[in-house]
C-alpha cells in the first residue's frame, strides 16, 4: 500500500458517536507516513474525553494492521477548530438532535 493510500484509509476512521470521520471533525488533524512509521496528531475539543483512547486506538490498530509502527501526539483544539467540531458534531450526532456533552 502506498503512503498516500494509507493516509486516505486512516482518514476514513469514524467517530464512534458521530456520523463523521475523525478527519472531518478535525480530531485526526495530521497524518504523516515516513517509511514504516505513521505519525498522527489528535486535536481534542476538550480535555478528559472519555473515548479518547478508543478513537486513537482505532487509528493505531488500522495502521498496525498494514504493518506500520504508530506514534501520536495530542493537543486541545483552538477555538475555531472547536467551533467547527461542534457544528459537525451537532449535524451528525448518531443519537438524534442532541449534541455530545463531552
Q: What is the CATH number of the domain that holds 45?
A: 3.30.300.130
- Number of domains, the chain: 1
In a domain, 30, yes or no: yes
In a domain, 100, yes or no: no
Task: Give me the residues paired with residue 31 across strands.
Answer: 40
Q: Which three cell numbers stand for residue 98?
A: 442532541
Residue 1: per-residue pLDDT: 83
For 8, 26, 52, 87, the CA distances from 83, given in Å and listed in that order, are: 25, 10, 19, 6
- Mean pLDDT in consecutive groups of 10 residues from the start of the chain, 102 residues: 92 95 97 96 95 96 97 98 96 66 48
Residue 94: per-residue pLDDT: 84
Instruction: Indicate the pTM of the whole model.
Output: 0.89
Residue 95: per-residue pLDDT: 67
Residue 57 domain boundaries: 3-92
In a domain, 102, yes or no: no
Torsion of CA 64, 66, 72, 77, to 10 degrees: -120
Amino acid at each position: 500500500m502506498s503512503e498516500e493510500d494509507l493516509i486516505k484509509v486512516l482518514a476514513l476512521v469514524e467517530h464512534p458517536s458521530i456520523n463523521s470521520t475523525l478527519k472531518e471533525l478535525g480530531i485526526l488533524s495530521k497524518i504523516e507516513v515516513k517509511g514504516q512509521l505513521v505519525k498522527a496528531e489528535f486535536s481534542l475539543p476538550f480535555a478528559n474525553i472519555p473515548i479518547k483512547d478508543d478513537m486513537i486506538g482505532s487509528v493505531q490498530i488500522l495502521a498496525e494492521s498494514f504493518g506500520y509502527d504508530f506514534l501520536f501526539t495530542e493537543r486541545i483544539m483552538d477555538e475555531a477548530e472547536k467551533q467547527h467540531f461542534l457544528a459537525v458534531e451537532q449535524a451528525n450526532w448518531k443519537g438524534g438532535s442532541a449534541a455530545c456533552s463531552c
